[in-house]
Chain A
Amino acid sequence: QKEVEQDPGPLSVPEGAIVSLNCTYSNSAFQYFMWYRQYSRKGPELLMYTYSSGNKEDGRFTAQVDKSSKYISLFIRDSQPSDSATYLCAPARTGGYQKVTFGTGTKLQVIP
């Protein structure tokens, strides 16, 4: 069983839709929860970062963490074509440095 499970998609939605991206993890040692966005042929860029259960909002993006069920979500409101990318769920644990374990990523396409 992988430590981090993420549906690879692809997920196609019309412009303006609310997008829900999800991830589950099995390692209770994960303390930090991040979402990275990766455009085609580019490196990942950090989108959201949280270290506690609950919601964190940043503009059109909301990250949600439920440590009791080991479930991580990213919501995108009013999705735009520029949101078309692969979204990587990335929980992390500490141990001298931040040890990040990436999910496989969900490919999102927002259709104008």
Chain B
Amino acid sequence: DTGVSQNPRHKITKRGQNVTFRCDPISEHNRLYWYRQTLGQGPEFLTYFQNEAQLEKSRLLSDRFSAERPKGSFSTLEIQRTEQGDSAMYLCASSQGQGEETQYFGPGTRLLVL
């Protein structure tokens, strides 16, 4: 399968714990995006990477959130000191860039904070 992959698919954690999610984009895609989706809502943009550079962050991305893409390939999203309001589906998408901007989404990581 050469699509976007995300791990884990599901994560249950207790309030106050740290969690980390991983996204592996389509191999030739140099742009990577993280979104958050809550029940009954569309995905909301969190952050964007061009290769290893994080070029934009949404106001939704509080100080407890950090994202990295160290070698311009896979990316991680870490949430520190989780809160119940962080419960959501975290989606990763990638696009080729260079004029081809269609974003392809992964299956998401569903987070439940108890």
Total interface residues on A, CB under 8 Å, equals: 26
Given A88-B42, A104-B40, A104-B42, answer yes or no on A45-B48 (Cβ-Cβ < 8 Å).
no
Query: In this assembly, does A102 line the interface, its C-beta being within 8 Å of a C-beta of chain B?
Result: yes
Query: In this assembly, does B8 line the interface, its C-beta being within 8 Å of a C-beta of chain A?
Result: no
- A6, A45, A49, A92: the one contacting B105 at CB < 8 Å is A45
- Flag B90-114 by CB within 8 Å of A: 1 or 0 each: 0101010100011111111010000
Contact between B95 and A105, CB atoms less than 8 A apart: no
Given A97-B50, A98-B95, answer yes or no on A46-B44 (Cβ-Cβ < 8 Å).
no
Contact between B105 and A98, CB atoms less than 8 A apart: no
Contact between B91 and A44, CB atoms less than 8 A apart: yes
Contact between B45 and A99, CB atoms less than 8 A apart: yes
CB contacts (< 8 Å) of A98 on chain B: these are 95, 101-103
Query: In this assembly, does B31 line the interface, its C-beta being within 8 Å of a C-beta of chain A?
Result: yes
Most-contacted residue by chain B among A4, A43, A88, A104 (CB, 10 A): A43
Distance, CA A45 to CA B106, complexed state (A): 9
**B17 shortest CB reach to chain A, Å:** 23
- Flag A64-102 by CB within 8 Å of B: 1 or 0 each: 000000000000000000000000101010101111111
- B40, B43, B48, B95: the one contacting A44 at CB < 8 Å is B43
- B31, B44, B106: the one contacting A97 at CB < 8 Å is B31
Contact between A49 and B102, CB atoms less than 8 A apart: yes
A-B contact list, 26 entries, CB within 8 Å:
A8-B40, A41-B110, A42-B108, A43-B4, A43-B6, A43-B107, A44-B43, A45-B105, A46-B102, A88-B42, A88-B43, A94-B101, A97-B48, A97-B56, A97-B97, A97-B101, A98-B95, A98-B101, A98-B103, A99-B45, A102-B42, A102-B44, A104-B41, A104-B42, A105-B41, A105-B42
